[in-house]
Amino acid sequence: MGLRRFGRLVKWVGGNGRRPFSTSSSSSCDEMMVQQIASGKSLNLYSAINQALHIALETDPRTYVFGEDVSFGGVFRCTTGLADRFGKQRVFNTPLCEQGIVGFGIGLAAMGNRAVAEIQFADYIFPAFDQIVNEAAKFRYRSGNQFNCGGLTIRSPYGAVGHGGHYHSQSPEAFFCHAPGIKVVIPRSPRQAKGLLLSCIRDPNPVVFFEPKWLYRLSVEEVPEHDYMLPLSEAEIIREGNDITLVGWGAQLSIMEQACKDAEKDGISCELIDLRTLLPWDKDTVEASVRKTGRLLISHEAPVTGGFGAEISASIVERCFLRLEAPVARVCGLDTPFPLVFEPFYMPNKNKILDAIKSTVNY
């Protein structure tokens, strides 16, 4: 139960105007983290997000949270109670204009603040695409590092929810992974969501943070109540195995884990990796795993063509070509708009993943 899995303790140092980071890796800090986790509280994912935002606002007066309907808690209740606690000058509603929300966030961050912007659904992030890709991602580069909007974090719920149809179910992460200058992060659980979100808010780069809305209330686990961070761009091996490597992120991890357990009944040992950060992603961890297993399967909800799984596949083939025992498998969403009544056919479910595991191992 080390720091790599559960994050590191944040020590707030006020008065210097800098973003706080813990540099401690001592055993005493590790023991303190274990004790704090043991005294954690059972939370669902949206409550963990709320707790992270509360800590961010409480520990730094330069933090602001804003977006459509956030002052009364938002559609998914992630910002409940924040306006009452910190005031409507720091937690406030915006007009229904995603381009304006992100543009305002860029300006706020450029002035040295931490701007936490909420886009109500990831499906509606596209009006802000120009601001994210052409402004936020390039702000530091075009000024020769004289200016930056690194304090900007854009939160948005993504993915299937069971009844969302084509305007409330999309997974647009791959669009933003083509934009150097931003980071893209997706958590799989409440504990991960809290630690990763705090890291994103305090990271010196703009971040797009997609939250799996399917898990807002469904995923529940023990979450440390204190202030902690989890490392960005560091994948986590959540299940070790020898026959095949599985890579995913967000809500898809729970589906993949079910497939791994079923494959184990047939004598197939699966190694499951949560990428956590998609841009920049942890190539070394995935490469080391594939060199061990000789096989790779990637799964995500987004359509298969042009999905981020294609980038992972190409990179691993370049690095591990002579080690691969089978073609890289991808189990993803279909190349159609996200359907409503046909959602069960569209989704990369457990049975599809299990079939792909068996096909790859028996290739």
Residue 53, CA distances (Å) to 82, 99, 108, 155, 355 in order: 8, 22, 17, 11, 40
Residue 182, CA distances (Å) to 93, 147, 150 in order: 25, 15, 9
CATH number for domain 236-362, candidates 3.40.50.920, 3.30.2130.10, 3.30.390.10, 3.90.1150.10 = 3.40.50.920
Residue-averaged pLDDT of the chain: 91
Closest residue by Cα to residue 306 from 167, 175, 171: 175
To the query of whether residue 98 is one of the catalytic residues in this protein, the response is yes
Query: Is 236-362 in the same CATH topology as 40-224?
Result: yes
Residue 165, CA distances (Å) to 170, 265, 307 in order: 9, 35, 19
Planar angle of CA 12, 33, 155, nearest 5 degrees = 60
Q: What is the pLDDT of residues 46-70, one digit of tens each?
A: 999 999 999 999 999 999 999 999 9
With both helix axes pointing from N to C terminus, report the angle between 283-293 and 308-320 in degrees, rounded to the nearest 10.
Answer: 60
Written as six digits, the tokens of 195 are 């630690």
Q: What is the pLDDT of residue 8?
A: 33
Q: What is the pLDDT of residues 326-335, one digit of tens each?
A: 999 999 999 9
Question: What does the alpha-carbon distance between residue 171 and residue 184 come to, in Å, rounded to a whole number?
Answer: 12
Calculate mean pLDDT across residues 106-112.
98
Q: What is the pLDDT of residue 184?
A: 98
Q: How many residues comprise the chain?
A: 363
Question: What does the alpha-carbon distance between residue 116 and residue 322 come to, in Å, rounded to a whole number?
Answer: 44
Residue with tokens 């647009």: 172
Q: What is the pLDDT of residues 349-359, one digit of tens each?
A: 999 999 999 99
Is pLDDT at 168 greater than 70 in this prediction? yes
Q: What is the pLDDT of residue 40?
A: 86
Question: What does the alpha-carbon distance between residue 267 and residue 261 come to, in Å, rounded to a whole number?
Answer: 10
Identify the band that residue 5 occupies on the pLDDT scale cut at 50, 70 and 90: very low
Question: Annotated catalytic residue: which of 68, 98, 118, 271?
Answer: 98
Look at 36 and 123; give whichever has higher pLDDT: 123
Closest residue by Cα to residue 163 from 338, 332, 359: 338
Calculate mean pLDDT across residues 279-291.
98
Identify the band that residue 39 occupies on the pLDDT scale cut at 50, 70 and 90: low
Question: Annotated catalytic residue: which of 68, 118, 135, 168?
Answer: 168
pTM for this entry:
0.89
Q: What is the pLDDT of residue 37?
A: 53
CATH architecture for the domain at 40-224 = 3-Layer(aba) Sandwich (3.40)
**Helical (H) or strand (E) element with 190:** helix 190-202
Closest residue by Cα to residue 49 from 30, 70, 33, 34: 70
To the query of whether residue 240 is one of the catalytic residues in this protein, the response is no
Domain boundaries, the chain: 40-224, 236-362
Q: What is the pLDDT of residue 328?
A: 98
Q: What is the pLDDT of residue 205?
A: 98
CB 173 within 8 A of CB 126: no
Is pLDDT at 181 greater than 60 in this prediction? yes
Helices (H), 234-282: 252-265
Q: What is the pLDDT of residue 325?
A: 98
The type of residue at 193 is A
Strand partners, 207: 153, 183
